[in-house]
Chain A
Amino acid sequence: MNTSKIKIIALLLVVMTIGFSFTTADKITIKGSDTMVILAQKWAEVYMSKNPNTAIQVTGGGSGVGLSALINGSTDIATSSRPLKTSELEKIKGRYGTLGVEVACAKDGITIYLNKANGVDELTLKQLADIYSGKITNWKQVGGADANIKLYGRENSSGTYVYFKDNVVKKDYALTCQSLPGTAAIVNAVKKDKFGIGYGGAAFDTGVKDCKIKKDANSPALVANEETIRNKTYPITRYLYMYLATKPTGANKKFIDWVLSAEGQKITTQVGYFPVR
């Protein structure tokens, strides 16, 4: 191929690159964590009412699904209830040449849901780990009725599934744990099942009993609330994140700045989560 053809092709590519790179619109897509869907939707709703020229689309699917979408370019922001995995970071490096941008945008206390008729009110982290790994299988082993424990959990695309496994269970979940597609489904299942137990975000605990959690046998039994989250005494406290492929600019930056502002953080409390500061 002669040099002039190559030059023409190169020139065309440069022109197209510059041209297309400036065609941006105030449309933001957010995808990921089911735990964060209600929070992200509320943020979007309030933000759009104040910024009518910005359209924000929020969908769930799980933290893993959101991060995959971020990697393949089909969402601007991925919401995640767990930190980025090494394998996901490697993919972001490969695709975008960056480390990604992590924005801690809210705090959550993973809540243990029990049926209101369940006699058990509190559990230690160790008991919780033993229950979800299948070592403890009957409520009487933790001071409850003589009945088998019915485990409800999330699918492995869920950030809560990963976080709970890595930080509480610390081994494989018991094979008897029934995977459900969302936190609301877990709450519903526990609501109907006297001997059921589930885990999920603090904002979903309607109609069930919040089990008090003890760091160890000698620690106080606590539920997740603003005070125990702020003073870091609730043992299963985590951050909720937003991830971007590159440093936010334009509409994305404006939205994230607003999420982290006092106004945006106030919404976390309204929804049932906790502000980062």
Chain B
Amino acid sequence: MMKKVILVLLILGINTINAQEIVNDTIKKTISIDSLKQAIDEHSMKFGDTEERLSTIESELAKLTKIKISGYIQAQYDMYDYQDDKGPVAGSSAQSPVTNSFYIRRARVKFAYETLDGIKFVIQPDFAVDKVSLKDAYVVLNDRWFMQTYSLTVGQFNRLNYDVEFTSNIREFLERARMTTTLYPNERDLGAKLEANFVNKYNFPLKLQLAIFNGNFGEGAIANQVRDVDSNKDVMARATYSFQFANKGLGVDVGAHGYFGSTKVLAQPVTNPVTPPAVFSDENNNPFTPNAGDTLKKDWFGVETQIYYDFLGGTSLKAEYISGTISGTTNAGQTYSAFGANKVRDFKGFYFSFTKNVGKIFQAAVRYDSFDPNSKLSGNDVTRADDLKYHTWTFAWQYFYDENVKIVFGYTMPINEKSDLVGGDYLSSNQDRKDNTFSIRLQARF
């Protein structure tokens, strides 16, 4: 009974407390129109303040959104099948061969800033274990009057060639064709380019490019590539046209380009018995002795086509042919590994590649490329290794893991011309010198 009395008292007590609170609340708070107006004004001020802050943030953000950052890393594992296990790795020898290696092929970040649609700045460094190098640094100005039909690019950028301009992060193959890497070392050069693309304004798929370059990028010591090593400039021109048969899923691009440049003989000792002047060899491998300041021929002409066909998934066939004359010297400011000799050579090169997409995530590709750095000599008339003709088979299989990551399996099989007079590895093999590479590459981009 006592418990019930206590419980009733407790309930009554709680109700009394609640009732008092409610009474107090209704009594003390009086609401007037003025106080409501004041509260609304205060809130309006706060909203106004927030809106101002937001618009400041928006304006700052708008500036940031004009900066576009992208990049990619290509990490790979190579297995080398080389003559006497020498491989391409520095220091590898028959005694201590390096037959495989992990390798960072490319690690690049690209910064692009587009102030208006008409102006673009691009900087792209490449990071390596031991250095950072500048790959691209250019400004593009688009015209404001003809719907950006015309543009001017100034700085360091790709030379005008399909294989060069086809970026490595979407290319089917691990490396470009031998012809491309020989003619366009490091792909870029310093100069200015005028471009006219008639598709936007006139719906006419013709693109014309004209560029003037220093002409010595990718050659010689880095210090010599910062500026021109001579006053002569090299000129390039390229035209491409696209045929589209959209209802048939067929596209055919055709194009042609020309390179018109020279190699200047920068220094030549005065004839004396102690340091005789360097003797060069001409297109027929005949010796000649140029004077300092002489210019050697360096020009070529190329044609290209790319065919795209949507048949059971995308299929593409690409081909390019280039022929002309190239020259080089052993001067420290000009020499480079692909063509580092005192010589002038007529050359011919081409490649065919076939790529088939299987579904959205697989792609298989094969390329056959040929480069003859001395088209006037063949067989036993060739006396030096850098004049040997090469045919290269390249196979690639890509798996697109997701939108950012892909895995590439690649096999490169160069086959060289035979000559008994070249010697070295080429003599001992008496056939194709072993220099095949199998690679697995993981590429991540953002």
In the complex the two chains form, is A99's CB within 8 Å of B359's CB? no
Bound state CA distance, A268 and B380, in angstroms? 74
| Chain A: minimal CB distance from B417 (Å) | 23
Q: Which residues of B contact A (CB under 8 A)?
A: 62, 65, 79, 81, 116-118, 144-145, 147, 166-167, 170-171, 197, 199-200, 205, 244, 246, 249-251, 253, 306, 308-310, 313-316, 355-362, 364, 397, 399-400, 402-404, 409, 411, 436, 438
Bound state CA distance, A265 and B81, in angstroms? 61
Bound state CA distance, A1 and B77, in angstroms? 13
Which residues of chain A have C-beta atoms less than 8 A from B358's C-beta? Answer: 17-18, 21
Which residues of chain B have C-beta atoms less than 8 A from A207's C-beta? Answer: none
Q: Which residues of A contact B (CB under 8 A)?
A: 1, 6, 9, 13, 16-18, 20-21, 69, 72-74, 86, 91, 93-99, 101-102, 155-156, 165-166, 170-172, 179, 245-247
Q: A13-B397, A101-B249 are in contact. Are A166 and B147 (CB under 8 A)?
A: yes
In the complex the two chains form, is B409's CB within 8 Å of A172's CB? no
Q: A1-B438, A20-B361, A74-B403 are in contact. Are A97 and B200 (CB under 8 A)?
A: no
Indicate which residue in A18, A99, A156, A246 contacts B246 across the interface (CB closer than 8 Å): A99
Bound state CA distance, A149 and B116, in angstroms? 21
Which residues of chain B have C-beta atoms less than 8 A from A155's C-beta? Answer: 65
| Chain A: minimal CB distance from B214 (Å) | 27
In the complex the two chains form, is B249's CB within 8 Å of A98's CB? yes
| Chain A: minimal CB distance from B386 (Å) | 27
Indicate which residue in B199, B360, B402 contacts A245 across the interface (CB closer than 8 Å): B360
Q: A9-B409, A93-B308 are in contact. Are A247 and B362 (CB under 8 A)?
A: no
Bound state CA distance, A165 and B145, in angstroms? 12
| Chain B: minimal CB distance from A180 (Å) | 10
In the complex the two chains form, is B360's CB within 8 Å of A99's CB? no
In the complex the two chains form, is A73's CB within 8 Å of B360's CB? yes
Bound state CA distance, A16 and B409, in angstroms? 13
In the complex the two chains form, is B397's CB within 8 Å of A246's CB? no
Indicate which residue in B116, B166, B306, B438 contacts A172 across the interface (CB closer than 8 Å): B116
9 A–B pairs (Cβ distance < 8 Å), ordered by A: A6-B411, A9-B409, A17-B362, A73-B400, A94-B170, A98-B249, A99-B310, A165-B117, A172-B117
Which residues of chain A have C-beta atoms less than 8 A from B197's C-beta? Answer: 86
In the complex the two chains form, is B147's CB within 8 Å of A170's CB? yes
| Chain A: minimal CB distance from B398 (Å) | 10
Q: A13-B409, A171-B144, A245-B360 are in contact. Are A102 and B314 (CB under 8 A)?
A: no
In the complex the two chains form, is A246's CB within 8 Å of B117's CB? no
Indicate which residue in B79, B144, B362 contacts A1 across the interface (CB closer than 8 Å): B79
Bound state CA distance, A81 and B87, in angstroms? 54
In the complex the two chains form, is B246's CB within 8 Å of A102's CB? yes
| Chain A: minimal CB distance from B355 (Å) | 6
Bound state CA distance, A91 and B169, in angstroms? 11
